[in-house]
Amino acid sequence: MLFLCCRAKVTFGLNALIGRKESETEKTLWVGDWYSHNARDLMRYTISKGYKIDSYELGNELCGVGVSARIEAKQYAKDMATLKNLVKEMYPNPKTQPKVLGPGGFYDKKWFDTFLDASGHDVIDGVTHHIYNLGPGNNPDVVRRVQDPFFLTQIAQTFKDVSNAIDKFAPWSGAWVSESGGAYNSGGQLVSYTFAFGFWYLDQLGMTSVYNHKVYCRQALTGANYALLNTTTFIPNPDYYGALLWHRVMGSKVLSVTHKGSPYLRVYSHCAKKEPGVSFVFINLSKNTSFEIDLFHDLNLNGGSPNFEFKGRKEREEYHLTPKDGNILSRVVLLNGTPLELLVSLEIPELKPKLVDGLKPISIVAHSIAFVTIRDFNAPACS
């Protein structure tokens, strides 16, 4: 009922080790073909109940060197083909056929290239990988890392490599981050459920979009330190509101944007979720520096006139997120200066933007995140 009420898309993870046995000569390596009978029974049951499954993912963290266990790339590709054939058999209507995802683990170039090359045409619909680039959750350095633009940028190479591998070996597919909690082992203690984690999280959403990722799955809705909801009260943590604003403001078309300011100011741009216009997210990692941002036509862009039109006559819609009392380790986030708290009815409060004169600079205060939509910014990609 929860999934139906929220119109959630469900991906079901399948056990990829069933039917195999551990190698007698190589520790942690599992050999043999995947046993698909249990998956068939599960599909038959869900179909009989009328449950809608968006996708099936085979395995969890078994690629590359694996986590406790691993499978060779060519064997995994063979098993993915088995899953694809099973899905086609059980869901013969292409319009309602669930997608097939894999391998659901950490990126390893040699392993991924071999896996994608051997998987066969149109077998894998989503190439899934996991990201925990902040290190272990008990590392006291996590809070520094989420504010360090140079550290945050390092993971961009992984996103780029995954995207390039798909372009080369499986262009019919798409890149997914199917699990990401920032810091592994249940998230960063005293950090993951605070305002500070939004620096990492929203930067990841922007960065993966730039590198043509189609889906980003956050670990987790509830449970452990990195939950979007308090695990005891189910009251939303700050990242819940960041994700909600992203969903409401940022459209699916990604735009290229650059700035010549400090590396501590991160900026991403999409077509607005609700037309017309363009939306931006600004992430100010700096503790002490505020930024005033002017938007303008760059007449030197590509040696000619810009391919967009910015008028600035209409009022901008701005959502500024800041931590309570200026403490980035606070569990309370302010929207345009007002604490975001559940209503007496336990419903999410209305998220209202403030309207700002479109000709004035955009002001991004220290240690803050801002979503800005400009309705009279006309980009051809958004039409």
User: Which amino acids are annotated catalytic?
Assistant: 61, 179
User: Which residue in 248, 203, 194, 256 sits closest to 226, CA to CA?
Assistant: 194
Structure-token match 């002017």, residue found: 294
Structure tokens given for 341: 């708290």
Tell me how many helices (H) and strands (E) the chain has. 9, 20
User: Which residue in 178, 166, 198 sits closest to 130, CA to CA?
Assistant: 178
Buried b (16+ CB within 10 A) or exposed e, 2-37: eeeeeeeeebbbbebbeebeeeeeeeebbeeebebe
Contacts of 58 (CB under 8 A, 6+ apart): 14, 16, 34, 76, 79, 80, 83, 100, 101, 102, 103, 104
Contacts of 106 (CB under 8 A, 6+ apart): 61, 63, 64, 67, 129, 130
Q: Is the peptide bond before 276 cis (omega within 30 degrees of 0)?
A: yes
- Within a 13 Å sphere around the CA of 272, how many CA atoms are in the beta-carbon half? 19
Kindly write down the DSSP assignment for every residue of 144-166, as one continuous string: HHTT-HHHHHHTHHHHHHHHHHH
Neighbours of 343 (CB within 10 A): 9
